[in-house]
Amino acid sequence: MVRVGVIGCGLVAERRHLPALKRLQDVKVVAVADTDEERLLAVADRFSIECRFTDHRTFLAESDAEAVAILTPTQFHAKIALDALEAGKHVLIEKPLGLNMEECEELAVKGSESRKRVMVGFNMRWHSLVDEARAIVQQGTLGELRAIRSVFSQRRSPEDEPPWKRRRELGGGVLVNEGVHHFDLWHYLTGRQIEQIHAVSKTTDKHHDETVVIASTMTDGLPASGVFSLASGGQNELEVYGTCGRLRVSLYRFDGLEFSPSTAYPGDVASRLSNLISAIKHVPHAIRASHHGGSFSATFQAEWQHFVECIRDNREPACTLRDGQRALQVAIAASHSLLSGQSVCVSEAPRHLAPVPFGPGQDIPLETM
């Protein structure tokens, strides 16, 4: 039994991580912490967790948790992770890893010196369809890759989000908070790095980076593009194009994996029949996953199962601090492209997120929790 503690009792803890942890037979959640005492008590009561702390340092000193999940606002990720490693804990850190490259590098050094396991929470790597898509790409089914694209959109009201999620410098906005998922997936699926990036955005006086469009170049000149928005209907998908065909992965659908050979068009009967057969194959998994919130929710359980196994086997997790650094570096480069209006080389980009040039009186409140 691995004893886990959770630092941060926001929605991602309440709706994703804690339900996933409760479903694992070999894990026991022994403690939670949050600076918001009302929120802390509500979440602890809901999940029947007895040990409760309003300060993460007291939590690390007094709880018997072997591993901790850091689910706080982004600006606290690196600091708390450093404290957790100093306290001798295994650490899972929600994405994004931090707010600047300096704190990420400090964390990487500490992690390399520690005998404890550290993993970044890019849960979409553990989506069953992503796993299948990666195998298809690696097997060469698509032929030589020619492009990759992503679309992520959700409808979120700024009034319903905490101020930190609306401010780029605090880790908010769709570019930093959600875009990093897809930057990581582009690398995960293709094995390539993003080298050059150009970005345009729609930013309002209530929400930084409400909508961002990305055009980038990866290793070997592979083009990659993305549309990310917090002002439209729900969608979360990737498409990989190769000389032998096209692979579409829609992460909110159980039957969201579709392969089309390069000789077929979307209305082609044979192609549609093949995709229908593939969809039927996924029905049993969809039924099982539906009991626990669907395939997307299942990614958190699979992510935690992997991390627990890494702790037990004393092996490196599949999603490392380097992966977290890489995705954040791309987001930082994109933020400077937004500021300059020019393409930015990722390896030469500044090491901090670029400011948002609002006019007087338009600043979003600075409260962080």
Distance CA 302, CA 314 (A): 18
Distance CA 148, CA 130 (A): 14
Q: In the beta sheet, which residues pair with residue 213? A: 200, 227
Contact 260, 271 (CB under 8 A): yes
Distance CA 128, CA 191 (A): 19
Closest among 218, 158, 228, 229 to 189, alpha carbons compared: 218
> What beta strand segments (E) does the chain contain?
2-7, 27-33, 51-53, 67-70, 90-94, 118-121, 145-155, 194-202, 211-218, 223-229, 231-242, 245-250, 257-261, 344-345
For 33, 81, 161, 243, the CA distances from 43, given in Å and listed in that order, are 10, 22, 18, 50
In 3-state terms, the chain is what percent helix, strand and coil (to 5)? Answer: 45, 25, 30
CB neighbours of residue 1 within 10 Å:
11
The one-letter code for the residue type at 109 is V
Distance CA 28, CA 42 (A): 19
Residues serving a catalytic function are 95
Contact 22, 304 (CB under 8 A): no
**What's the number of CA atoms in the CB half-sphere (13 Å) around residue 242?**
22
Distance CA 136, CA 18 (A): 32
